[in-house]
Amino acid sequence: MNSDEMRGKWNQFKGSVKQQWAKLTDDDLTAIDGHRDRLVGKIQERYGIAREEAEKQLNQWKVPSSPQHEEVTRHEEVTRRKVS
């Protein structure tokens, strides 16, 4: 998903983003305001991971409009447990 798509659908995605990255605060979500680069930065900051890892997680995230959104691979589950 590119930045324009994310900004256009941000209000729809916020809940899903919060589920995926629970350490993000409501203030973080407001500040991100649909900007992909800001989301990557906040994931990096809150989880203490490298920017590349935050990018990777965001790229692997199943967006709500995706038919595969509810499916979580074992790798993603393991990744979330390590980050938490």
Structural domain spans, the chain: 3-83
With a cut of 80, say whether residue 66 has pLDDT above it: no
Average pLDDT over residues 63-67: 57
On whether the CB atoms of residues 28 and 14 are closer than 8 A, the answer is: no
Average pLDDT over residues 10-22: 92
Average pLDDT score, the chain: 81
| Architecture in CATH for domain 3-83 | Orthogonal Bundle (1.10)
Within 8 A by CB and 6+ apart from 48, the residues are: none
Q: What is the 3-state secondary structure (H, E, C) of 10-59?
A: HHHHHHHHHHHCCCCCHHHHHHHCCCHHHHHHHHHHHHCCCHHHHHHHHH
- The span from the CA of 46 to the CA of 63, in Å, is 20
- The span from the CA of 28 to the CA of 38, in Å, is 9
With a cut of 90, say whether residue 6 has pLDDT above it: no
Tell me the per-residue pLDDT of 32-58, one tens digit each, with 9 for 90 and over: 999 999 999 999 999 999 999 999 999
With a cut of 60, say whether residue 15 has pLDDT above it: yes
Give the confidence band of 13 by pLDDT, cuts at 50, 70, 90: confident
